[in-house]
Every structure is written in C-alpha cells, then in structure tokens.
Amino acid sequence: MNHPPAPLSTWARNVSPSPTLAVDAKAKALQAAGEDVCGFAAGEPDFDTPEHIKEACIAALRGGKTKYAPTPGIEPLRQAIVDRYAAEYGLKAAPSQVIVSPGGKFNCYLAVLATCSPGDEVIVPAPYWVSYPEMVKLAGAVPKFVLADDRTGFRLTPAMVEAAITPKTRLLILNSPSNPTGAVYSRAELEAIVAVALKHNLYILSDEMYEHLIYDGARPTCIATFSPEVEARTITVAGFSKTYAMTGWRIGTTVAPAPVAKAIAELQSQMSSNVTTFAQYGALAALKEKEKTAAAVQKMLVAFDRRRKFLHAELNQIPGITCLLAEGAFYLFPNVGSFGLKDLDFCNRLLDEERVAAVPGSAFGAEGYLRVSYATSDEIIAKGVSRLARFCATLKK
Ligand SMILES: *Cc1c(COP(=O)(O)O)cnc(C)c1O
C-alpha cells in the first residue's frame, strides 16, 4: 500500500473558499499580532445582539429547550415570520411555507438545490455576493454572470437579463439591497426584471437579507408580493444576521411556494436538521418584542447612515476614486480603476503599506473596485479613509 490516497471529489476541488473571509482573516491575524489595522472588510454589524434577544435565548436554554425541534423551525417562530411578512408587505403565506435554516447562506443554498439540476443555468448578477457562484456549482449547475457596473448604479436592466437567458436557464438570483454594492432597486425596476423571468418561466431567488438596512427614505421591495404568478416562482430569503446583529447565531429564513418549501424542508432534514433550538427562541423574541427590537435597530441604522454619508464624502475627496452613494446594506463600492493596478494588488498593498483592509471587487466579479464596509466605528472609518488617501497619493506619482 504505497500509493497516495485517492484525489478528493469534484466538489472539493472546485469550491473556492470565501475571499471576503480570507481578507478579514488576514487583517485579524495582523491585529492579533499587535498591528493597528483599520478593517473595512467585515461583512457583519459591529454591534452586539440586543439584550432582550439574548435573554430570551438564555431563558429557553435554562428552560430545557435543548432537544431536536421540527426541521423547518419551531411553530411559534414560523408563525411570527408569517405575521411579520403580512404586516410589513401584505404577503399572505402559511407557516408551512416557512423554513428556518442555519444561516441565510444555507437558506440560499437549499433554494438552489431545490430548483436546479446538474447542467441548469443560473443568472447571477455581478457584482455578486461571493457565495452564489459556489453554491450554484455545488448543485452541479452553471452560474451565468451578468455585470452591471457603476454606470448603471450596479443595477441590471431587463434587457441585460433577457440577453443572458437560454433554454437551460432555471433560476434568477436577485439581491436588493446588494452585498457588495449597497445598491437598491426600485419597485418598478424589479417589476420589469421579474416580468422577463416570468416570461421564461424562471424561478427567482430573492435574497432580501438587507431589507431593513436602507436609507434616504428608500423602501425595501418584497418581490413575492408582485402577483400570484410571481409568488408561485419566488423563493424569499432573509434572516436575523444583519438586521439584528445576530451573525453568530446562524438563523436565516425562507418563504417559498408550498412545493418548493416542502422540498427545501426535506433537503434540510437530511443535511442539518433544525436550527439550534434555544437560538430560535432568541429569534422569536426579536420578532415578538417589537418595540425593544425596533429601538435597537433604529440605533444601528442611525449609526450606519452617519458613517455611510461620511465615508462616501471622504472617498469622493480622494483624487482618482469615484464612489456612488448606495442606499442600502453597510457597504460602499468605490471605483479605483483609474490607478491602473489590479484591485487584488491594490488591496494587498493597502493592507501591507497602510494597514487598511478592504476586499477587492474582483472577489465579487467586478474588477477595478473595492468593497468598503462601514460596519465599524466612526474613528476607524476616519483613520482608515485618511490612510487610504495617503496610499492613493503615492500611487498617483
Ligand atoms: C450575510 C449575507 C447572507 C447570509 O447571512 P447568514 O450569516 O448566513 O445569515 C446572505 N446573503 C447576503 C447577500 C449576505 O450578505
């Protein structure tokens, strides 16, 4: 028995590790070594989970909520999710259409697995959230990227979607507000795109993870409410991670047409079972104790909005950088193409020379940009952006 072990699977060899987590990890390692790093790479709120949510989880844990629960979620949580969609958007869904999964990322993956077979094509708007292409590939399907750059506000037009559709297209992914650009589509823009999807009988995965992190009076759109035909084809993913500063809890939500919901629950029953039972009681408190939750979210929104405006103004002061004022999430996506550097080199040098961590646009399928997260303190933003300005000045010479 002298030969080496057999090669790993196609899946193992084809998957790319998350580049956003990689940059964040490198920055954190420098920080741990005592370096003064300004981190713009984070993909999570810098706030702690609101106290009443933690308390509800602790009470559930003490109260013995430590056993398996129904795979798609505890009944009161699924009902509370139904109630909040009805209250916020007028969406009428039954609790059986709701699946609570271990993180919105897994909700998205299950949606792809439930709708796509090997060889099917999935339209992925770029700049995209880093996990979409990988989860499509893990389903054996093929991502088809359609790039909308800053000239169209990082938003696709119906014609761009239409041009990417082939007889093999199965699924269209939409993500508004967007990670990484913060772009928010208007309801009318989404209606026009969804009409194209409907015409070609596509499923739609609408990732509405950032629905509540939205500014300047913009309003979130719940695509599934457009019409019964749209609802029958739309899988809505959202969750607790971003809105309530609960990234480590691993709780996401899906609302799907009944046959899709059933398939997703069955897949989940073999892949992960239920989300941690006592954690679901924390999520339930987030939805039930409405006033406390709203106050906590409002505080975060005020901070995010202040930082967003400050960072946007500062970035646009830097010669060579142009940056749109995004209306959602907690990211800006400045264009750094004028410096003539690959964005990966730009980011590596920025971290090495100025100890500023940002993620290159190419990680999101858009070369020439940076993703800058403002889910960090005002002080770090101010310090980091002045270091960025100093770095850019050295490039200009
Ligand atoms: C953060 C994020 C998710 C999933 O978040 P979880 O931490 O897995 O709940 C899904 N989609 C987008 C666009 C995100 O940024």
CATH of residue 326: 3.90.1150.10
Residue 181's nearest CA partner among 160, 156, 159, 204 is: 156
The answer to whether the beta carbons of residues 259 and 230 sit under 8 Å apart is no
Residue 15 domain-assigned?
yes
- Is residue 3 domain-resident? no
277 and 146 belong to one structural domain: yes
| DSSP-derived pairing of the beta strands 203-207 and 331-332 | unpaired
Nearest atom in ligand 1 to the alpha carbon of residue 106 is 8
Residue 61 lies in a domain: no
The answer to whether residues 179 and 45 touch, using CB atoms and an 8 Å cutoff, is no
318 CA distance to ligand 1 middle (Å): 31
Q: How far is the CA of 239 from the centre of ligand 1 (A)?
A: 8
Answer yes or no: is the C-beta of 175 below 6 A from any ligand 1 atom.
yes
207 lines ligand 1 (CB under 6 A): yes
Nearest to 327 by CA among 222, 212, 244, 225: 212
| Residues 339 and 248 both lie in one domain | no
CA distances from 200 to 100, 159, 203, 204, 361 (A): 29, 13, 9, 11, 31
- Shared domain check, 255 and 339: no
Q: Which two tokens stand for residue 286?
A: 């987030």
Same domain, yes or no: 98 and 19: no
Flag whether 55 is in a domain: no
* 294, 244 Cβ separation under 8 angstroms: no
Look at residue 62 and tell me if it is in a domain. Answer: no
Domain that holds residue 309: 11-48+293-392
Cα of 183 from ligand 1 centre, angstroms:
15
Residue 98, SS3? strand
For residues 32 and 89, membership in a common domain is answered with no
- 120 close to 278: Cβ distance less than 8 angstroms: no
Residues 6+ positions from 83 with CB-CB distance below 8 Å: 287
Q: Tell me, using a 6 A CB cutoff, whether residue 371 lines ligand 1.
A: no
Give me the helix-helix angle, 290-317 and 378-396, nearest 10°. 20
- For residues 177 and 320, membership in a common domain is answered with no
Whole-number Å distance, alpha carbon 252 to ligand 1 midpoint, is 8
| Residue where a domain stops, chosen among 288, 322, 346 | 288
Which atom of ligand 1 is least distant from the CA of 108? 10
Query: How many Å lie between the centroid of ligand 1 and the Cα of residue 4?
Result: 38
Q: ∠ CA 171-263-165 to the nearest 5 degrees? A: 10
| φ/ψ of residue 129, rounded to 5 | -65, 135
CA 77 – CA 96 distance, rounded (Å):
12
In angstroms, rounded to a whole number, what is the distance separating the alpha carbons of residues 237 and 239?
7
Strand order in the sheet with 359-360: 331-332, 370-373, 359-360
Cα–chain center distance at 185:
15
The total number of structural domains that make up the chain? 2
Is the Cβ atom of 107 under 6 angstroms away from ligand 1?
Answer: no
Q: Cα(353) to centroid of ligand 1, in Å?
A: 31
| Residue where a domain stops, chosen among 288, 322, 357 | 288
Q: What is the pLDDT of residue 43?
A: 87
pLDDT at residue 1 in the model: 66
Same domain assignment for residues 117 and 199: yes
Q: Pick out the chain residues at pLDDT < 50.
A: none
- Number of the ligand 1 atom closest to the C-alpha atom of 240: 9
Q: Is 239 in the pocket of ligand 1 (CB under 6 A)?
A: yes
**Which ligand 1 atom is the nearest neighbour of the CA of 247?**
7
Residue 136 is inside which H or E element, if any? Answer: helix 131-138
Helix (H, G, I), strand (E, B) or coil at 144: strand
User: Which pLDDT belongs to residue 106?
Assistant: 98
- Same domain for 278 and 297, yes or no, is no
Please, are residues 54 and 42 in contact by the beta-carbon 8 Å criterion? no
Q: Cα separation of 32 and 107, whole Å?
A: 33
CATH number for the domain spanning 134: value is 3.40.640.10
Ligand 1 atom nearest to 207, measured from its CA:
11
- Torsion, Cα 311 316 321 327, to 10 degrees, reads 60
Residue 209 Cβ contacting ligand 1 at under 6 Å: yes
- Same-domain pairing of 373 and 306: yes
Domain end point (choices 288, 312, 327)? 288
31 inside domain: yes
52 vs 62, 115, 174, 285, 367, CA distance in Å?
15, 37, 32, 7, 42
Does 152 share its domain with 271? yes
SS3 for 123?
strand
